[in-house]
Amino acid sequence: MKTRQTIRTEPSSKELLRTIFGYINKIANERDVEKLLIMLADMGRDLVTADRCTVWLIDHQREILWSKVAHGIDRIEIGLDKGIAGYVANHGDPLIINDAYQDERFDKNVDKRTGYRTRNILALPIRGSSGEMIGVYQAINKMTPAGKFSDTDKEHLLLAATYTGSQLESVALQEEIQNTQKEIIFTLAETGEQRSKETGNHVKRVAEYSYQLALAYGFSEEEADLLRNASPLHDIGKIAIPDAILLKPGLLTDEERERMKSHAVLGYDMLSHSERELLKAASVVAHQHHEKWDGTGYPEGLSGEDIHIYGRITALADVFDALACDRVYKKAWTMEKIEELFQEERGRHFDPKLVDAFFSIKDRLCEIHEAYMDDI
């Protein structure tokens, strides 16, 4: 799709400094990784008066470049040996191409796919702290009356490319930390469930149910994913419950039942001291997933919206899984019977709005149930 491109004047030295310091201030205060990378692309575009900028990342395993951030287009992939970006990625040298269609290295296919007309390109390598190539920073279409990129533009864009390289390394480290946290959480959760004779698939199902319910309830993708990764630890406090109670085949005494209920507080105590957002969310889930909308739950007897939404969602997900699955002591309920119960418990055990969300996505929840079936 073609867009109208507005001619702009070349910024003065004073305006460039204002732009640089303005972006440095924004970047220093931005904690959202994706927003930060978009700012870096915006910074490069404004520094060289380009129409758009693209941050390409190298995937050596697949031998491709893919657009981590790109103005005006969705994610696209090109071969690592394709186009101006591919040339820079392979040779490590900056390029200024002021007549793209006359350069044999230019790949016209991207323009064909996007409907955009590339006139000129300024492309720089993005390097990590040890000098390795990690991507390409590319500015497209100089928007001044002269309409051509210069060596001065290359120097200005280098600032944005250098910032981008350091931020991409931070992103990679952050993602590695997050993935490690998730792996530890699932391993810990599965260990706890196996001790109480549950299967590892229980925590996987509860995680996926919670994610889908959160989206249906109106969560953003980011917050729904946070709950998906926190909810597996809902019963982690059971690790501290003695086997004589946890594995007792018959009915529990009143005293044993109260000891069993203490797992909610025990789980909270285990997790609540962490400063990590993921473990903080898990502590809320562990503490409140047995609370009920009408105030008859435990451990605090909270009611309504005093119960954190993370606890409300995980409660419904946990109960749904318990009813929908075979256990050594019972057969799975039919979906019709589960629906009847949830209608009865709407406004009693469960948040009414959350029950409505459940019915709106019940087919998706059944698909998840089938995908993570237990072998009993």
29 vs 232 pLDDT, higher one: 232
DSSP string across 150-187: -HHHHHHHHHHHHHHHHHHHHHHHHHHHHHHHHHHHHH
For residue 172, name the pLDDT band (cuts at 50, 70, 90): low
Tell me, yes or no, if the pTM score tops 0.75: no
In this model, does residue 1 exceed pLDDT 50?
Answer: no
Strands across the sheet with 95-97, in order? 77-79, 64-70, 50-59, 133-142, 121-127, 95-97
The pair of three-digit structure tokens given for residue 131, joined into one six-digit string: 């000098």
d(CA 290, CA 132): 51
d(CA 93, CA 95): 6
131-162 pLDDT, tens digit per residue, is: 888 889 999 999 999 999 999 999 888 887 88
38 vs 1 pLDDT, higher one: 38
Catalytically active residues are: 238
Mean pLDDT of the region 287-296: 97
DSSP string across 66-81: EEEEETTS---EEETT
What domains, with CATH codes, occur in the chain? Answer: 13-172 (3.30.450.40), 196-371 (1.10.3210.10)
52-81 pLDDT, tens digit per residue, is: 998 898 988 899 998 887 887 778 889 998
157-161, 204-208, 296-300, 319-323: lowest mean pLDDT where? 157-161
Instruction: Return the SS3 of 241.
Output: coil
Select from 344, 286, 346, 277 the least CA-distant residue to 310: 286
Q: How far is CA 296 from the centre of its chain?
A: 35
In this model, does residue 266 exceed pLDDT 50?
Answer: yes
Q: What mean pLDDT value characterizes the chain?
A: 87
Mean pLDDT of the region 205-234: 95
In this model, does residue 177 exceed pLDDT 70?
Answer: no
Q: Which of 101-105, 241-245, 290-294 is most confident?
A: 290-294
156 vs 307 pLDDT, higher one: 307
